[in-house]
Structure 1
């Protein structure tokens, strides 16, 4: 765990484990809801056939097995497609991990136990989703099932009782009464849409959180263009030599000391960054995003490191230096700062050198250079034997963004596509089921003189109301999922800030509205093609 490359891989696997708890739960929950709606409609249209079969001697178990096997067949076909799709995505991820972590080779293979587990969990979710409808069909008495279903109770809705009658047209009253008549179905539709919007918010949350981390760590806290590290500590006057290089404008000496912090039974490996008093190129920032001056004595710890050590301002920490004379010190904690990367500890450079007793020395420098002078300065630094390495801050940021785009881009697009599919599936499925259930009612209204627009408004207005209600709920669910993700991704390497850009809310809402509009257009064509005479015929 002390090797950085292993630690990054470990944290990446931990992130994947978090994803496997969040995404499948949402997807399987929505799938169970859709299957429940479909099979409730299917059972409702076949209640007389079920009654006849039971009258001829088929048992309740036979009827339940009939519908259960239909669900199983649907689930097995979907699972086969899922395993194939999972294998394809797994191959893509393996190639991405091999490139990102520089593995010599990384082969992906479908594990039979994992595939069977996925199929089993999907089947259980499907059967749980359809269990109520199947049980109702199988357990209904023969005489009751042979009767036509009892008509719904028609009464004034809550909206009609609260709002003035002149505010509600007749089609609007029908919409409110239909929603109140089936509140569970309406609630599940709203929850399904909210989950779809939340998935897309969570996908965009990762992007905005990473941008926030980069902005705080590499733009506000750090102002240098280049940094250079020495093979061993050198006198602070070494900055004068580097300041004389062509193109260099400003140089500040810094010192990085590897240490082990100890507090009671807690122990952590990290380093202390010694920064010059009054320095401008690197300073930690506070919660108000203001750069702070280091105190003349004592440690400045980031909040995560302090929490891991169980210390606060005023406490003393044992510091075991891991270089030079291996000094053991007890230093006070002077201040805490909030950071999202690493286990950072800071100290005034003069105070650090006094505590270690090594004189006025540094182990590296921070530099700003003229525009276009970086390549020449890099070449000059490479020719100096006491410099072990140099780095560009902007190049590091660009490399970080490239790595993030490679690793999170695929996840983001998968989340967006799956969220859009769930959105469209819930809206379209609800609209089609509503049209199938209320086709006779809508055709009757057309015969009574309602226009096509009014009939479409009755069906699609209900859907539009549910979509509008789901949007603010999707914001709340998306915020909760993002908070869960951020809290489960905290590690010594990085902490994901809880920051959701306004564009994430707008994107989720816009995708929901577009999915609803596409579904409405598809269903509206069917409304216009209603066969009034055929629909109004008595069904035997």
Structure 2
């Protein structure tokens, strides 16, 4: 080992506290890079393999009822490589102890052989016997949530007829990765199920003998999906086709894709912030070391070491710290990624999901950490090359402080001597103070930004379920009914009020942008579910026109005054051209609002409603829900309290849980920045502080001079960091937001106050650690120091 390498090891041990702090900052940045990139790669690859092995269809074409002879016409469409028609329909599952009827989807299985598309992945049990009328596979996630096992029987209502089905096995399907009940946006395996039954039995239940109500299509190589969809729609139009759509518009795939895209965005945006902070800290540390070791650098050059050799020695220190941090970050990234996998399997029905780190993430993480560290080191090493032995071995020219602050008169009487020394210390080295203050401000920004996001998630929940939607439950009908259905429900004992609505599936188009969703028709002055503006005031729906949620307006890139094309996928399926009147604040989903009477006029279906929202007496709620189970016209019941609990669980244990990891990382970095600032101040002024001790200053007075400067630097950093954190919170909120939910961001005094308290606490702890070392200074060694 060379002399310089031995010196390198001694230097690393000597500043081990600062090295550990910087290594930790680098490690968390690389950890997030490896974890997020690995999750993106794992989710993407697992989804691709699952779709491929289980043959998920490329195009889905729902239809009211079409004879099987139509399949031949669909097969003749150019670009169609393979197709199949199957039967599907809505169902209700009645479980003991569940007051609310549970929505489900019934899907046909071939009476013989394997399905052409969407092959089920059996988790347990067996397939139903061919020709069996009361046997079914059950969605595994739903079964696990309710403790159902093969061999159990469940009560299922199919097309108004109640049947007892034997559960022969548990299964998953590629079309049901994300499962949410119709009318809800939150996945909850306990609140939505799926049953697979033999084709003949399900066709008999839904009056589909010799017919199908959904065509599944695989495209040939080079086929145009849009052209195939247009042709399919033309063929199925006479039979009640409601509009074919591609895999990217499948609700399940759309939400999984949004989750993957959100992770990919965060993996590109967040880790560089942490690595930039680490590079800044390394710059300060190495810069201080080079200044403190001027004489040693001069001696090394005098003994024959070249500028490149000496510069390489300090550069090795930078690389050693960066590589230690990168190595630790890679290990932590793998562990964190594996810990996150169960969270995704809880909310997404992958039959298997193994965390496989993306090899490129390791390379990117290590390279980025080395580059970030080197960027700061390069600027410092220029001084090493410029120093000649004669110049380096002379003490640096004393700075001229004659024009800095002088205290006289009232100022001299107002401040004691240690306080004046603190103020002069900051004033005489303004750039050093600004650099340290900027570092602390960066830590404050990370902490306040993440703390604001915590509050934003809670605010989103509160606004969504107490301001926008104030109902207790939502009842959906099997098909649109007259207003008498709302009156009937209003007369139920325990029902306080009802509010009818009309929900119409539609494809919304603006220019080249499209969105497959729905239009919500509401009464003129709704009280339970409302569109609100940025100030949380209710928006009066216009007689003509449409109001879009913020998320939907962003997807379509549309503004008030623009015209929106609405292709209705129900009934007569008219194509409407409506002006956009307002953009409403949306927090869950991507809603579009119209006056219900105007929507019904456009559909030529006056007085029709899709369901009602209800306010109920909590003491009678269970009896009301039990009564709704037995009403054939009721397709589903969504309870607000249950939906809120599901969304809270998703944010705490699912995708939103990443905010806790990022928050912990932000606070770790903040402490590392503050500790390094205190340690750097101690190292830079160790000789001055020790001299004060020799001159008769007490330990407390010497400590006051050091920690007073840290206090001033920290207090200056707080407002700057708070302002930067406010801006950063908008960027983080955009990263977490998706079509499922949008995170509102505004200045939260509590969040910024909490972050400021943490920074002050970190400064206090760092100051105590540094003062402990100051109290241990060897005064004899100071007396021997040559200036």
Fold match (TM-score > 0.5): yes
Task: Give the one of 132, 136, 146 matched to 2:393.
Answer: 146
1:323 corresponding residue in structure 2: 570
**2:424 corresponds to:** 177
Q: Distance in 1 between matches of 2:510 and 2:380?
A: 60
Distance 2:546 2:290 in 1: 70
Q: Name structure 2 gaps, 5 residues minimum.
A: 1-247
Deviations 1:186-224 (A, max 9, x none): 222111111111112222222222233223332112221
Structure 2 residue matching 1:255: 3-state secondary structure: strand
Residue 54 of structure 1 is aligned with which of 287, 296, 301? 301
Name 2:354's counterpart in structure 1: 107
CA, structure 1 residues 442+248, in 2 after alignment: closer, same or farther (shift >3 Å)?
same
Which residue number in structure 1 is paired with residue 207 of structure 2? Answer: none
What residue ranges of structure 1 are gaps of 5+ in the alignment?
none
Output one character per residue of 1:438-477: Cα deviation in whole Å (capped at 9) or x when no partner: 2232222222232222211111100000010111111011
Aligned to 1:444: 691
Pairwise mapping of residues 355-504 of structure 1 onto structure 2 (< 5 A)?
355-407=602-654, 410-487=657-734, 492-504=739-751
Identify which range, 382-391 or 501-510, moves more after superposition: 382-391
Contact 2:589 2:741 in 1 (8 A): yes
Tell me whether 1:118 sits opposite 2:362 in the alignment. no
How far apart are residue 81 of structure 1 and its match?
0.9
Partner of 1:338: 585
Residue 204 in structure 1 maps to residue 448 in structure 2: no
**Which structure is richer in relative contact order (CA contacts within 8 A, separation 6 or more)?**
1
CA distance in 2, matches of 1:129, 1:312: 45
Is the contact between residue 443 and residue 673 of structure 2 (CA under 8 Å) also seen in structure 1?
no
User: What is the CA deviation profile of residues 76-109 of structure 1, one whole-angstrom value per residue up to 9, with x for unaligned ones?
Assistant: 2221111101111111122212222232221112
Question: Structure 1 residues 70 and 309, CA, compared in 2 at 3 Å: closer, same or farther?
Answer: closer
Report whether the alignment pairs 1:520 with 2:767. yes
Q: Distance in 2 between matches of 1:205 and 1:408?
A: 18
**Offset, 1:168:** 3.6
How many matched pairs? Answer: 540
Q: Give the counterpart of 1:234 among 465, 478, 481.
A: 481
**Contact 1:275–1:349 under 8 Å retained in 2:** yes
TM-score normalised by L of structure 1: 0.92
Change in Cα spacing, 1:530 to 1:315, as seen in structure 2 (3 Å) is closer
Offset at 1:539?
A: 5.1
Higher-strand-fraction structure? 2
Q: Distance in 2 between matches of 1:162 and 1:250?
A: 76
For the Cα contact (< 8 Å) 2:452–2:752, is it kept in 1?
A: no
Larger helix proportion of the pair: 1
C-alpha change, 1:523 and 1:53, in structure 2 (3 Å) is closer
CA distance in 2, matches of 1:101, 1:506: 37
Partners of 2:553 and 2:559 within 8 A in 1:
yes
Offset of 1:492 from its aligned partner?
4.4
CA distance in 2, matches of 1:98, 1:364: 33
> Structure 1 residue 488: deviation in Å?
5.3
Pairwise CA RMSD: 2.6
| 168 and 321 in structure 1: CA distance in 2 versus 1, 3 angstrom threshold | same
